[in-house]
Structure 1
């Protein structure tokens, strides 16, 4: 029995590595093309591109690991059925529950992998990526400090600076922002200062005017101000200067924050609790996906025409569970007292896989095994 378990587990791990590599490459190429265009357009080097893509790898592996595990168990069990190896195991007196032991080991290993990724590696990489995005945004902002030239860091942004004093004060500042649909906003100021903050660079305008043109109604609203602050980093590099969220902290750091800061806002507390529960529910769901794939395929009988029906049924179960997961995520996100809903997809998957395996065991017990 130990050799059989090792044989099945080895195949599962091998195929998991293969499917994970293929899915990560597909996902990485899809994201890398868009990231490459954006970074190169911003004047960044290829090293920055490689750094950014490497920092997204932990998240990619976490996202595709359950699907790769599901595909691996489908492939391995399908091959066992096709090669009549399951019939040999049945003849030897093994039940479905006994054959499922290496699958359980594989599922638990996959859950541990996803838990480590979601709780430690992904938050660390996302926090580092957030820091690098802020640095890139600051670099892009610094490139705007060119006297006497109209600069266009993007297709919707135009910036002009007349003079920079020795003290770092900006004089004669003009900024046109057409990034918002249906609006064209123009900022002009006699002087300004570029300052750093925890969430990226800020442009402080002094003694100026805001002209807000509504393109649909063609109405112009003019507002004078004594001082006005613009998130220049967000304009130049959208998404690069957003404040750090709960997803940028490891699970241990989130627990420490919840314990050490009882007076935090309800919204911040909920975001941390939601992130923690989501990181726990994900590994549990990966176990259920592996068991469902095994349960559906192990009940398939040998057929010379292939086993497309059980494979299709397993994929339908996968889509159904992922659909339920999406609904539960949205519902728990909107209802602060319903974090327990995050575990419903795992519960549904556990009940489904157990019922299929139990039914298969009953069939195997009552079935007369043909000679091999």
Structure 2
């Protein structure tokens, strides 16, 4: 349990064992305790932590990309803003991945050979969207494009999924979708 104290944070532990190994004498000392408090103030001093990475910053600080944040992280404004927008875009890409599998499965009908065509189609679709995402994110990080361009790849992925969902009931002309449809149009 972490507890805030006047002189810094403290780690409070209940009912446990503390073990100390002395390598010189090859002795292990074990101390049982009911409650134990450890002062963490020395571990969280600024000198110990050093420079923060942009990974450790909240998104609102990345969006602001103040000169102080730029100096602290060693990154420029374009990079920090791109990272902020990319955090949201990555979440949208997970939706694209799930929906791509669903949409491609709807394209195929029953086949005794399995779903390999649909699975391959979903993999190709996701590879193309990821390739586009990597290229656009790199362009935005070096300042060649606005940071919001990272939302293009999830939008393209969602548009392709929308197209697949729109096409799925309309693809009766495909050979593997036509097998269950009677030739005369009347069920026998």
Q: Would the TM-score normalized by the shorter structure come out above 0.5? A: yes
Instruction: Give the direction of change, closer, same or farther, for the CA distance of 1:305–1:264 in structure 2 (3 Å limit).
Output: closer
Measured in 1, the distance between the counterparts of 2:68 and 2:60 equals 19
Q: Could you tell me whether the CA contact under 8 Å between 1:246 and 1:271 is conserved in 2?
A: no
Which whole-Å CA distance do the structure 2 matches of 1:360 and 1:350 have between them? 15
For structure 1, which runs of at least 5 residues remain unmatched after alignment? 1-131, 136-195, 201-242
User: In the superposition, relative to structure 1, how do residues 327 and 282 fare at CA in structure 2: closer, same or farther (>3 Å)?
Assistant: same
Computed over aligned residues only, the root mean square deviation of the Cα atoms, in angstroms, reads 3.3
- 2:171 maps to 1:356: no
1:314 is aligned to 2:122:
yes
1:1-372 aligned at under 5 Å gives the runs 197=47, 200=50, 243-254=51-62, 258=64, 261=66, 267-335=75-143, 337-363=145-171
Q: Once the 2 structures are TM-superposed, how far is the Cα of residue 362 of structure 1 from its aligned partner? A: 2.9
SS at match of 1:350: helix
The 1-side partners of 2:49 and 2:125 are apart by: 43
Normalised by the size of structure 2, how large is the TM-score?
0.57
CA distance in 2, matches of 1:293, 1:254: 33
Between the aligned partners of 2:48 and 2:144, the Cα distance in structure 1 is: 28
CA distance in 2, matches of 1:254, 1:197: 23
Residues 304 and 264 (structure 1 numbering): CA distance in 2 closer, same or farther, change over 3 Å? closer
TM-score by length of 1: 0.31
Where structure 2 has 5 or more consecutive residues not aligned to the other structure, the ranges are 1-42, 173-177
SS, match of residue 47 in structure 2: coil
Structure with the higher fraction of residues in helix conformation: 1
